[in-house]
Amino acid sequence: MSRRSAVPSSSKPGLFAALLLAGLFAMPLTGWGTPPASPSWMQLSAEQRAALTPLAHDWDRYSPAKKQQMLNLVDDYQGLDAVQRQRMQQRLKSWSELTPQQQEEARNNWKHLQELPPAERAAAIDRLKAHSATTP
């Protein structure tokens, strides 16, 4: 005994087209012009890779949130002169070489610095700059 479709054969091409279109419109638009939330190093543009070169080795291990945070720096990088770009890349390199514990300590120190009254904060920053100038 053969099974017959409940849909007449003359309407099957129209039904197929309608289902195909419905499926296309139901698909998320990621991958169709929208950048991935967590791009791999190779998915970055040449401009992004140039700005974030010091992070290339560890990039694919970063969380999506960390990648987005770093990608936000690229806009700032484009507005910098050559000396400022070099300094930014040196800082990114230094940061990437810190252990997770050292990074956490640096974050805590920064948070503490921001909580100081303005005069104390300025004095602390001056001491840090003087120390950095004498340390290779």
User: How many CB atoms within 10 Å of residue 49?
Assistant: 16
Give the amino acid at 104.
E
Tens digits of per-residue pLDDT, 47-98?
A: 999 999 999 998 999 899 989 988 998 888 888 999 999 999 998 899 888 8
Question: What is the Cα–Cα distance from 32 to 8, expressed in whole angstroms?
Answer: 36
Tens digits of per-residue pLDDT, 6-61?
A: 445 444 555 555 554 455 444 444 444 556 778 999 999 999 999 999 999 989 99
Whether this prediction's pTM lies above 0.85 is answered by no
Which tokens belong to 111?
Answer: 């948070």
DSSP code for 135 = -
Helix (H) or strand (E) holding 124: helix 118-134
Which tokens belong to 132?
Answer: 């950095």
